[in-house]
Homo-oligomer: A and B are copies of this chain.
């Protein structure tokens, strides 16, 4: 009965504790600079036991990449829910920019991208994360185009990609700039509005 369920729950908790520990290590030291021992210690389990839950260090990173996708769900929702396309786009821009400018997001993305270059599996996970957003954004752009509040784009999907490129490029730069002059997203929104409105 609940015995089995308890066991399952306990297992899931173990897994997530490992993931949490790994994530905090990766953010603090970087993926390559983090050792398996470190992760196990921070997760409060033994070194060998970690291998009962994950097959390798890379596996842990892959799972983190998957979980990152779930973090994107709120922003995907934003794009699905609202009615007025430009308002929707602006709300999304603010939200997504704020999230992606997070230290956590930037550092993790760089680490994952670094791995993706030499690792096809990670790369496709990375890409899958984005496609979800691209598709949702395409829906908004289409509605706006039909509704005459957006330009008519030569290539809808490419435009959606470019919007994300801009936001993500902005977030990356924002975080890597040493001066850290916290800029709001006002200019970013203006830029994207200009690029899309009639």
Contact = CB atoms under 8 A, between A and B. Distances in A.
B173 A166 contact: no
Q: How large, as a class, is the contact surface on chain A?
A: 35 or more
Contact of A110 (B32, B117, B162): B117
A161 B174 CA distance: 10
Interface string A106-144: 110011011011101001101100100000000000000
A18 interface: no
Interface string A167-184: 111101100111100010
A165 to B, nearest CB: 3
A110 B113 contact: yes
A123 B106 CA distance: 14
Given A29-B118, A117-B110, A127 B166 contact: no
Contact of A166 (B110, B169, B179, B186): B169
Interface stretch (A60-68, A82-90, A151-159): A151-159
Nearest to A177: B127
B188 A120 contact: no
Interface stretch (A4-12, A38-46, A72-80, A189-197): A189-197
Given A162-B169, A165-B172, 19 more contacts: A29-B118, A30-B117, A32-B32, A106-B117, A110-B117, A113-B172, A117-B176, A124-B178, A127-B176, A127-B179, A154-B190, A162-B187, A162-B191, A165-B170, A166-B169, A169-B170, A169-B172, A191-B195, A194-B196
16 contacts: A30-B117, A30-B118, A32-B33, A113-B172, A113-B176, A114-B114, A127-B178, A153-B190, A154-B187, A158-B187, A162-B187, A165-B165, A169-B172, A191-B195, A192-B195, A194-B194
